[in-house]
Structure formats: C-alpha cells, structure tokens
Structure 1
Amino acid sequence: MPASITRIEDRPGLPELILRHGDAYLRLSLQGAHITNYSPAGQDNLLWVSNSARYQPGTAIRGGIPLCWPWFGANPDLPVRPQHGFARTRRFEVLSQQVDTQQASVILGLDASSEFPEWDGAARLEVEIRLSGHLWMELRTTNVSDRELAVGVGLHGYFRVADCLAAVLPAVTGLDYQDKTADFARRTQTAPLRIDGEVDRVYIDPPSMIELHDPGHPSRLRIQAWGHTDLVVWNPGPDIARALGDFDDGGYRNMVCLEPALALDRRRRLAAGASFAVGQAISAQKGA
C-alpha cells in the first residue's frame, strides 16, 4: 500500500507534516508534535479542532491531540506556570521518518535539557507516530539530569462526536475518579458515563482499552493505551466553552476529550538516566 510523508508550510511559523498510508491521512504540527487530523481510510477526521483555534507560534492549538508534558493541568509546585506544561508550544525536530508498504512513521524530538524558564529539570522527549490501519503514537521521556524528576504526561485527545449528550463511555463504570468540578473530591462511577454538562474527571487505574459509543457516528472509537495511570475525561460544557477565546460557540456539543495520563499526584518518579513511555493506538471500527 503506498505511503508518503510531506512537509508543508501553509501556516506562517508553523511547519507541518502530512502522512499518508493508502487512503488514511494524518496531519501534524511540528510545534508540540501536535496531531490535528487523523482520518482513517474511508472516514472523516476522528479529531475535533475548534473553528476558532489559533495557529500562531507559541500558542497551543485548541483541539487535535496536544501533548501535556512535563506536567498535566496546573503545575503542582508553581501553579502560575503554564497549564499542561510547555511541550505543546515548543518546536520539535524531525529525528527520522520512514515509509514502506506497512506504514508511514516519524520520530520527533525535543531537547528539554537546556534552560527553560518554566522548568528546572533536564530531559529528552521523543514522540513516535505511525500511520497504518490505525494511528499509533508513543511519547518517550528520558531523564538526562543527575537527579530524580517527577514527570506528568497527558495525551490530550479531542474526539469528534455527533452530539456529546448522546455519547456513552461504558469503560469507566466502577472506577474511582477525582472530580475537578468538586475540588477534586474522590467518587465512584456507578454507571456508564454520559456527558450532561461540564465534565472534568480523572479516572484512576482505567482499563487499557476503552470505547466511546456515539449513536450519531457510523464507527466506534477505540483507544488502546499503555504506560498511563489515569484516564482524563473532559468536556467544558456551555459556560466554560463560551469563556474560552479559542472555543467556537456550540463546539462543546461535538467533542469529548479522552486522555491517557499520569496526572495529579500520580506523576512518574524518574531516576537519573531512566526512561519511560506513554502511548495509545486509536482506531474506528465501522459497524461495531
């Protein structure tokens, strides 16, 4: 099956890569190694991107799959530092790329061993992305400092749905979660999750495989994740969406964030010289 990787510069200061494998299509920005379009063969983009997203150097893109690193959410030590870390607004370099009959793949890197005003650690970050019959991605962190680092991670996927009010997430049934809308109170999910307003939850010890049931979509979204401790589920609801300058009106109805993560106090304690990885494989099964 033919595959290709093409570099484009349609947006000033934001070079991108287009990966193709057969009829499958993927678009990613080198800023943040940020995937903005994943369209499996014969299907539309599975990812939601705001119509009001800002494509500017140094500004996070609202939608797609931003990478949260080296912390998720607010910095636990200094909350004034950038939400979700700084990787999503930094330019990655292309370390390698390959195309063959099986897939199109690329490895991107970020050297976080130099001075960053937001962080006093030193690490090397690699993101490998493979496009074939599904999307496979892995974020790898290596501690290149001489001391232990605490690293948080989130693969902050925004997934498109026909209507979030009809979407159902059965896989979280029975899981404990921390509810950010209630000062991180710990609760138990007693039934499949339905989005009926603002949702901002960190589910603890989720299963490796989750499915999103969307009656308005012909395919069922499946995410197989590894290396994570948490699953973050987020939808801003109407009020917060209106307050966000890069969130189009009504856009919250057409998205749900599902995010394999190392969040809150479950950051990875990484010894000097050690590495770890967090990844996911995303697919959509027609007629499932």
Structure 2
Amino acid sequence: MTTASVERIEMGSLTCWSLCFNNSKLLIAEQGAQILSYGNEGEPPIIWLSEQAELKPGNSQRGGVPVCWPWFGDLLRNPQTVQAMHQQPQQAGAHGLVRSIDWTLEGVEQLEEAVSITFCYNSLEQPLAHWPHAAELSLTLRLGERLSISLVCRNIGQQPLAFSQALHSYFAVSDIHQVSVEGLQDCDYIETLEDWQLRKQSGAVHFNGETDRIYLKPSAKLQVIDPLWQRTINLLSSGSQSAVVWNPWIDKAQRLSQFDNAAWQQMLCIEHANVLDDIVTLAPEGEHRLSVDIWLDKQLTHQALV
C-alpha cells in the first residue's frame, strides 16, 4: 500500500511544495522551480541544502538543484552564439536568468506508483532582462521509487534559439575525502583550475582539493560511492553530453555566499549540462529535453555500471 501527498507550504518567504511518496520526501520552491531537498525519512539527505540558505524572494538558494538557463557559468566563457543572445553579455551574471524568478505551477498528478509536479516559465509572458527571445521551459519532477527530473525547452519564436544549461545538483555526502565518482573513467575533461587544459580521467574521481571540471561525453550513468554511509547515489541522464564535477574545498568555501566555511566536506556537485561544444540550438518550434534520474543503492559495494 503506497502513500502519496502534495502540500503547498511556506518556507521562509518562499512558496514551496512538499511531495511525499512512501518514505521519500521532495521539497521544491516555486522560485526558480528549484528543488531544495530530497531524501528518505530517517536517513541522510540525498540532495544537499546549505544550512545558511536564505529563503527569500530574488535570492537563488545555495544547494538543492538550481536550473541554470539560458547559459551556464560565466556567459563570457560560453560560445559566441550563446553570448550573442544577450544584449549586454559583459554585465551578465553567472548561471543564467531563471533561478530567482517565480515559475508557474502547471499541474500535479498522483498515481499509484508516483506523484509528480510540473512548473513552467514563458519568456513572452515574463520577459528576461536583456534577453529578448521567445522560449518556454517546463520542469517536471516525478517522485516514486526514484526521483526523475525532466527539463524541456521549446523555441516558441521565429528565430533560432541558442543556449547552454545545467541541472546544478548538490549531493549530500558523508565526507568528501572518502567518496568517489564512477562512470567517468577514460573521459576527456576540461580542467578549469589549470587554464582550461584538456585532460583525460584515469580511474574513478577522488577528491583532495578544489575541483571544477567539465567532463566531455561521459557515460549516461554516473555513481557517487559513499562507503561511510554505505550507499551509492545513482545518476542516469539523457539529453546532455557534459557533466560538471565541483567542490569548492577550503579557500573558496570561505568566499561563497550562504555557505558555512566547513560545508564543503559534506557536499558534492555533479551537474548534468549542455555547455561548450554541447550547447543546444533550436529551430523555431523545436524542443530539447534534459533529464536525470536519481536513486540509491544502500550497500557498501556499488553495482556494476550498465
């Protein structure tokens, strides 16, 4: 017998939605359609949210799963076609324009095997500063035995639409020194901390300092191996050919907003993305879907990659 519920709640100054399915719980803010937390009752969280997150309007939250769109990272590091979509790229902030605006609740569905919620954003109805283009975003979150995230972008204008994007997922870990990431073996990556050099990954990814890498054409399935919590976080993606792996470590953590100086030890970002040569260009009426499934294996040793 399954139990499922959907509830509108207020968190700080934000309107949020709480979804429950059996012992799993998902919390989403209407602002940015941002997942704030996800996990199972009585267990460590799967999605990490900073204890210093400021839940107030106009303020993107540190943690959860922010939607980065219509560009990821520094706009000036994006291909020229993405930069050209913005009227003032020199003044543009990081990670796009939709993280700190309210999305519209499109619908809620409760089924026997899952509960889902969909948020939409339309740039014609809610124009973006210095980005005069016509696009519609739809984010559907489906909570069942796993969490499924699906971000669809549609070009509703008359001109081609170019963008980069990411689901900027923050994962909770027991100790960053102990965890590893599998699925990136032999993958080329950009080492952004060393003049954006192109390198190749040897073996699993381990962490012993600040990490900020863009992996190119990774496996569709990645795994975060956490031996102290005796679990594996599985990530299965489609619609992207890039994965960003990030941890600020000691020095950068002290410069981040909404971030405790020691919080870097309990979090790890793996961001499924379309960046660099993997940007998306949509013809009029075209659409693109970026999706990620997240689930746990509760065991000391991880399952073989598929």
* TM-based fold match above 0.5: yes
Change in CA separation of 1:184 and 1:121 when aligned onto 2, cut-off 3 Å:
farther
Asked if the contact 2:116/2:141 (under 8 Å) is kept, the reply is: yes
Q: Which runs of 4+ in 1 moved over 6 A?
A: none
How far does residue 208 in structure 1 lie from its aligned partner after superposition?
Answer: 0.6
Distance in 2 (alpha carbons) for counterparts of 1:80 and 1:173? 37
Distance in 1 (alpha carbons) for counterparts of 2:90 and 2:208? 29
| CA deviations over 1:170-208 (Å, ceiling 9, x no partner) | 211100001111122111112211111110000000111
2:92 partner letter: R
Structure 2 unpaired stretches of 5+? 84-88
| CA deviations over 1:215-274 (Å, ceiling 9, x no partner) | 111221000000001010000111111011211111001111011100123210111110
Q: Which residue matches 1:98? A: 109
1:47 partner letter: I
Equivalenced residues, count: 287
Q: Which residue matches 1:28? A: 28
1:268 partner letter: V
How far does residue 10 in structure 1 lie from its aligned partner after superposition?
Answer: 3.2
Higher mean C-alpha deviation, range 140-149 or range 43-52:
43-52
* 1:151 alignment partner, one of 134, 147, 163: 163
Q: What does 1:169-184 align with in structure 2 at a 5 Å threshold?
A: 169-184=181-196
Q: Which residue matches 1:109? A: 120
TM-score of the superposed pair, with normalisation by structure 2: 0.91
Asked if the contact 2:115/2:144 (under 8 Å) is kept, the reply is: yes
Q: Which residue matches 1:68? A: 68
Asked if the contact 1:170/1:192 (under 8 Å) is kept, the reply is: yes
Q: What does 1:1-288 align with in structure 2 at a 5 Å threshold?
A: 1-12=2-13, 14-40=14-40, 43-75=43-75, 76=78, 77=83, 78-114=89-125, 115-287=127-299, 288=302
Change in CA separation of 1:53 and 1:10 when aligned onto 2, cut-off 3 Å:
closer
Equivalent pairs: percent with the same residue?
A: 29
Structure 1 unpaired stretches of 5+? none
Distance in 2 (alpha carbons) for counterparts of 1:97 and 1:109? 12
| Aligned-CA RMSD value | 1.3
Distance in 2 (alpha carbons) for counterparts of 1:116 and 1:100? 35
Asked if the contact 1:152/1:261 (under 8 Å) is kept, the reply is: yes
Change in CA separation of 1:93 and 1:142 when aligned onto 2, cut-off 3 Å:
same
Higher mean C-alpha deviation, range 90-99 or range 113-122:
113-122
1:38 partner letter: Y
Asked if the contact 2:31/2:57 (under 8 Å) is kept, the reply is: yes
Distance in 2 (alpha carbons) for counterparts of 1:41 and 1:281? 19
Distance in 1 (alpha carbons) for counterparts of 2:182 and 2:232? 12
Distance in 1 (alpha carbons) for counterparts of 2:103 and 2:296? 28
Please give the secondary structure, in 2, of the residue aligned with 1:265.
helix
Change in CA separation of 1:42 and 1:52 when aligned onto 2, cut-off 3 Å:
closer
Distance in 2 (alpha carbons) for counterparts of 1:179 and 1:202? 7
How far does residue 41 in structure 1 lie from its aligned partner after superposition?
Answer: 5.7
Distance in 2 (alpha carbons) for counterparts of 1:8 and 1:252? 29
Please give the secondary structure, in 1, of the residue aligned with 2:246.
strand
Asked if the contact 2:11/2:55 (under 8 Å) is kept, the reply is: no
Please give the secondary structure, in 2, of the residue aligned with 1:156.
strand
Distance in 1 (alpha carbons) for counterparts of 2:90 and 2:266? 30
Distance in 1 (alpha carbons) for counterparts of 2:154 and 2:219? 26
Distance in 1 (alpha carbons) for counterparts of 2:274 and 2:31? 22
Distance in 2 (alpha carbons) for counterparts of 1:164 and 1:118? 39
Asked if the contact 2:240/2:278 (under 8 Å) is kept, the reply is: no
Asked if the contact 1:40/1:134 (under 8 Å) is kept, the reply is: no
Please give the secondary structure, in 2, of the residue aligned with 1:139.
strand
| CA deviations over 1:44-63 (Å, ceiling 9, x no partner) | 32111111112121111000
Distance in 2 (alpha carbons) for counterparts of 1:82 and 1:144? 25
